[in-house]
Structure 1
Amino acid sequence: MDGNFGPIERVIWPTSVISGIVMCKLVYEFIGWISRGYLKSYNSLSKSTMHEWNNRGFSTFHAILAAAISFYLLVLSDLFKEGSENGFIVDRKSVLSDSLLGFSAGYFLADLGMILWCFPSLGGVEYIMHHGISIYSIILSLINGTAQFYILIILFSEITTPFVNLRWYLDVYGKKSSKLYIYNGVALFLGWLVARVILFIFFFAHIYVHFDQVRTIFPLGFYSLLTAPPLLAFMNVYWFWKITKGMVKTLSQKRHAQ
């Protein structure tokens, strides 16, 4: 652990975490400023709805950034390339991966703070559990420099968040009957299926195939990797079931209305 806390890490970790928190504040304020100036209906929203409106702005920003960088590290770069001579996949990391993990930890901390502050309007116990598990897993991986490959897969699954947020925005804006709402709902269903169901199947299959590497992770990290992701997967399946029900209901209503 000490070898993973070198001069570079001492700068990257606090800087990236603080950057994630500051990003949330800046985007929150920017979304509020833009909305007040260009969306008349925004000013008629309740205070709690305004908070959520702005909150979903910075969650969308983080989701797009985290998914893009995760995709680059996992697919486009050679960092986790199979057959590489860079050692075990579970031990690989880089300045960029460290920075992203720290940035995401800052985001989840800020978002969890808002959820608790506005509880339960921004989310119930399941959101607190989701963010708590995410923060714990990211910090543990960041400090010990292990299992970042798996953390990045989970961060990539945040690609579904913009669809979730757009669905909420359209609902609040009175556009539930629009074609965009329906198209977004189908995109959310497909995106969730790929990024939060099928991708998690790959996640667990990869752990099984590379279990000889996984078992070399220090005990707390090893057992956390075997317990935390299944909890997230369970929540993903539960939310997927709700998304599916919502999509089927919307499509049925649209068909009967024609």
Structure 2
Amino acid sequence: MRDPFFYGPSQALFEPLCDFLSLQSLSYHIHEILIVFCIYHIIFEYIAPLLSASLLSKSYNTLSYESKLRWNMHCVSMVSSVGICVLSLWTIFRDQERRHMDLGERIWGYTGAAGLVQALATGYFLFDLVVMVRYLKIFGLGMLAHASSCLLTYTLGFRPIFNYYGCVFMLYELSTPFLNIHWFFDKLGMTGTRAQLYNGLMLLGVFFCCRLIWGAYSSFNIYRDVWNALHFDAKTHDLSTNGEIMKFGGDRLLPTWLVMLYMGGHVTLQVLNVFWFGKMIAAVRKRFVKVEKKEE
């Protein structure tokens, strides 16, 4: 399936640089990355503060400088997570070329729709990394590691490699809207309410299913594909005769450094997911244990 958006004039402008960096499909999507980055920057710096101060003045205007930054970041995260999940699910169900990919195509293949998902994710993680670096003391090293790993993983995908899996791992973000709502409840004076309890239960359930269960299953699939490609490359070279999907396939090599970087990023994300799940359980319990004690 083709990218629903037109290829911008940046394709010819950035193609030599992208080819030099061995990111051959990046030139087709770099305009989308830059546009998304600018949109999220505008939301973070201008739209979120303005609308929040106007519509929720009693809550937003009393926040500290640090809490306002986090509030603005949660606004961007809400927009990004909803948009990327809808687009990922649409691509998974509608992109027939992607759905029928074989081993070689899952590793080296490319479709424009999957490339669009990859571009929007890269644009967000580029924005996320910039914010994490600017406000490192506020957001911490864990969030910086998350932004760095995600940006590295999705940028490397423009070789292209594992273009198939971009939509798959973006479904991690299905839990993010519930996390944002949970945080907003605290700042709106709704801590310990039934609404926060129900949202907290949804957050834990969706996070466990999409990040731990789905994440482990998807990681197993990509590790299996990498293992097969490395150990059965003769068989792999006989696959994937679809010229359009494999137009960036090249010599179909998997350099050791690339496998290490890509898999290292996934391992980092999986470890962070387990750590954050424990923190979420503790946070939800803390809020509602306090409420029960007050009622006693």
Report the TM-score range of the alignment, normalised by the length of the smaller protein.
0.7 to 0.9
CA distance, structure 2, for counterparts of residue 217 and residue 246 of structure 1: 45
Q: How big is each residue's C-alpha offset from its partner over 1:199-241, in whole Å with a ceiling of 9 and x where there is no partner?
A: 1121122135433246665213322333221111011001111
Aligned to 2:254: 218
CA distance, structure 1, for counterparts of residue 273 and residue 264 of structure 2: 15
- Structure 1 position 81 matched with structure 2 position 68: no
**3-state SS, counterpart of residue 187 of structure 1:** helix
Q: After the TM superposition, which residues 9-48 of structure 1 pair with which residues of structure 2 at under 5 Å, given as runs?
A: 9-10=26-27, 12-28=28-44, 29-41=46-58, 42-48=60-66
Structure 1 outlier segments of 4+, above 4 Å:
1-4, 84-87, 214-217
Larger radius of gyration: 2
Q: Note the C-alpha offset of 1:27.
A: 2.1
- Structure 1 position 148 matched with structure 2 position 166: no
CA distance, structure 2, for counterparts of residue 105 and residue 88 of structure 1: 21
Aligned to 2:210: 195
2:108 partner letter: D
Q: Note the C-alpha offset of 1:129.
A: 0.5
1:103 partner letter: L
1:206 partner letter: N
- Structure 1 position 5 matched with structure 2 position 24: yes
Q: Note the C-alpha offset of 1:92.
A: 2.5
Counterparts in 2 of 1:114 and 1:96: CA distance versus 1, 3 Å: same
Please list every run of 5 or more consecutive structure 2 residues that lacks an aligned counterpart in the other structure.
1-17, 232-251
1:36 partner letter: A
Aligned to 1:118: 135
Q: How big is each residue's C-alpha offset from its partner over 1:30-66, in whole Å with a ceiling of 9 and x where there is no partner?
A: 2222112111221222222222211211111111111
Question: Does the 8 Å CA contact 1:167/1:185 hold for their aligned counterparts?
Answer: yes
Percent identical residues: 18
Question: Does the 8 Å CA contact 2:182/2:199 hold for their aligned counterparts?
Answer: yes
Q: After the TM superposition, which residues 32-181 of structure 1 pair with which residues of structure 2 at under 5 Å, given as runs?
A: 32-41=49-58, 42-82=60-100, 84=101, 88-121=105-138, 123-142=139-158, 144-181=159-196
Counterparts in 2 of 1:241 and 1:134: CA distance versus 1, 3 Å: same
Give the structure-2-normalised TM-score.
Answer: 0.76
Aligned to 2:272: 235
Give the structure-1-normalised TM-score.
Answer: 0.87
Question: Does the 8 Å CA contact 1:90/1:214 hold for their aligned counterparts?
Answer: no
CA distance, structure 2, for counterparts of residue 223 and residue 173 of structure 1: 44
RMSD value, Cα: 2.4
Segment drifting more, 226-235 vs 205-214: 205-214
Question: Does the 8 Å CA contact 1:64/1:159 hold for their aligned counterparts?
Answer: yes
CA distance, structure 2, for counterparts of residue 207 and residue 251 of structure 1: 39
1:102 partner letter: A
Counterparts in 2 of 1:204 and 1:99: CA distance versus 1, 3 Å: closer
Please list every run of 5 or more consecutive structure 1 residues that lacks an aligned counterpart in the other structure.
none
Q: Note the C-alpha offset of 1:181.
A: 1.0
Segment drifting more, 212-221 vs 162-171: 212-221
CA distance, structure 1, for counterparts of residue 195 and residue 126 of structure 2: 32
